[in-house]
Amino acid sequence: MPTYKLDFQTQINIPQQVVYEHLKDPQNFVGLQPLLTHVESVKYEEQHGKQSVSYDTVEAFRWMGIVLYRNRIHVQTIFTNPPYEFETIVHSFPNITLNVKYLFTPQNGETLIEETIQIQTHAWLAKFVLAQATQAQTTLLSNLKNRLENKIN
Q: pLDDT tens for residues 53-111?
A: 999 998 877 666 665 777 899 999 999 999 999 999 999 989 999 999 999 999 999 99
Cα 74 to Cα 77: distance, rounded to the nearest angstrom: 10
Q: How confident is the model at residue 131 (pLDDT cuts 50, 70, 90)?
A: very high
Q: State what percent of residues in the chain have pLDDT above 70.
A: 94
Entry pTM: 0.89
Question: Would you tell me how many other CB atoms lie within 10 Å of the CB of residue 104?
Answer: 23
Residue in 66, 126, 121, 117 with CA at minimum distance from that of residue 93 = 121
153 compared with 151, residue with greater pLDDT: 151
- Alpha-helix residue ranges (DSSP H) falling in 6-125: 16-24
Here the CATH number for the domain that contains residue 100 is 3.30.530.20
How many separate domains does the chain show? 1
Nearest to 92 by CA among 118, 58, 128: 58
What pLDDT shows up at residue 89?
Answer: 97
Q: What confidence score (pLDDT) does residue 10 get? A: 97
- Mean local confidence (pLDDT), 35-63: 88
Q: How many CA atoms does the CB half-sphere of 45 hold within 13 Å?
A: 8
* Whole-angstrom distance, CA of residue 85 vs CA of residue 112: 12
Task: Encode 82-91: b = buried (16+ Cβ within 10 Å), e = exposed.
Answer: ebebbbbbbe
| pLDDT tens digits along 4-36 | 999 999 999 999 999 999 999 999 999 898 888
CA distance 127 to 108: 38
Pairwise CA distance, residues 61 & 65, whole Å: 9
Query: Residue 90: which of 120, 131, 135, 60 has the closest Cα?
Result: 120
Domain range for 50 is 3-152
What is the length of the chain?
A: 153
Residue 153, pLDDT above cutoff 60: no
pLDDT of residue 78: 96
